[in-house]
Amino acid sequence: MRATNVILSAVVATAIACMHNRSTGGDAEHGRLPENMYAGGADCGGRSAFRVAAYNADFFILRQPACTNYEKPFLYLIFGRDRALLFDTGAPTIDVATPVDTLIRQWLARRDQRSIDLVVAHSHAHGDHVAGDSQFVNRPATTVVGRDTASVRKFFGIVQWPTAPSTFDLGERVLDVIAIPGHQPASIALYDRRTGIMLTGDTFYPGRLYVRDTAAFARSINRLARFVRGHHVTHMLGAHVEQTSTPSVDYPIGTKDQPNEHRLDLAPAQFFELDSAVQSMRGRFRRLALRDVTIWPQTP
Ligand SMILES: [Zn+2]
Ligand SMILES: [Zn+2]
């Protein structure tokens, strides 16, 4: 645990030192994406802890190591003045509470603040994004949002699901919450107005975009594309990387060691390309490899 803390401190210090040198453009709060968040291979090699990177002092990216689960999902921890939000809790089986608590403790220490509430929410309800929930259920000052659509709707106050977004304020940090069912019924995207980052879960990431409900997916992608066109979106960050750095080529399902993987972040232009491809299928979905993502319809 001590080793983890040392690594986290070093990463955070480096990122904060760099954050004033990098611009994301527009009025967005500056930050820096990691060049690489390599998740390691099948062998933990004595280091089974989450990889952690600071986008800036209030926005953190965590990645589950491959040796604990081939899905190696990405999680996000975002701080506002009044509360922090953890977006997803990972796949089985790993300690996620310790790195999250460490980041929160370090954040509080930097601000000379005693405590901050934590909200644990999910990009969607699949098992590789909610497995760590139980580690937060009895944590003080913590709310774990339910995984079903009704709970998500209620918590975020989405009156017209899925057509109208709602907002959720962490305290001087407003997130737009956009329902995007299709990959899974309770899928949501989060848009962070401060950094301009859009978190897209399994609906949009460099890899296989599994489509369970094709009609809902097509509408969600189109609705999200309209939102992206109307906002300053700096980066679109999803929950996995399965693509290689070679265009249109993905790693086989179950691959743990991905030394030449695609970078995590995608841009609005790549999302518009997905929207065009999805809409041109006119409801007749087929597997299609675009440059950075693969549309992958699944039969129910
Ligand atoms: Zn999923
Ligand atoms: Zn997933």
CA distance 85 to 77: 6
Minimal CA–CA distance to 180: which of 155, 210, 217, 208?
Answer: 217
Give 299 Cα–ligand 2 centroid separation in angstroms. 17
Nearest bound ligand to the CA of residue 131? 2
At position 286, the amino acid (one-letter code) is: R
Rounded Cα distance between 226 and 65, Å, is 34
CA quadruple 199, 139, 52, 42: dihedral sign: negative
pLDDT of residue 131: 98
Residue whose C-alpha is closest to residue 134's, from 94, 168, 184: 94
Conformation bin of residue 165: beta by default, left when phi > 0, alpha when psi is -120 to 50 = beta
d(CA 2, CA 140): 23
Ligand showing the shortest atom-to-Cα distance for residue 240: 2
Q: Which of 175, 186, 294 is nearest to 241 (CA)?
A: 294
| Å from CA of 65 to ligand 1 middle | 18
The predicted-structure confidence for 155-185, as pLDDT tens digits, reads as follows 999 999 999 999 999 999 999 999 999 999 9
Ligand 2 center to 112 CA (angstroms): 36
pLDDT digits (tens, 9 = 90+) for 55-94: 999 999 999 999 999 999 999 999 999 999 999 999 999 9
206 CA to middle of ligand 2, Å? 12
Distance 65 CA to ligand 2 centre (A): 14
Burial group, residue 210, by CB count within 10 angstroms (0-12, 13-18, 19+) = middle
- Angle (CA) 67 33 6, round 5°: 60
* The pLDDT of residue 300: 59
CA of 114 relative to ligand 2 center, distance in Å:
34
Interacting residues of 251 by C-beta distance below 8 A, sequence separation 6+: 242, 243, 244, 258, 261
| Contact (Cβ atoms closer than 8 angstroms) between residue 220 and residue 187 | yes
Segments of the chain with pLDDT less than 50: 1-25
Residue ranges of E strands in 45-106: 51-56, 59-63, 74-79, 83-87
Comparing CA positions, the residue from 230, 239, 231 lying closest to residue 195 is 231
Please state the length of the chain.
300
Shortest-distance ligand to the CA of residue 124: 1
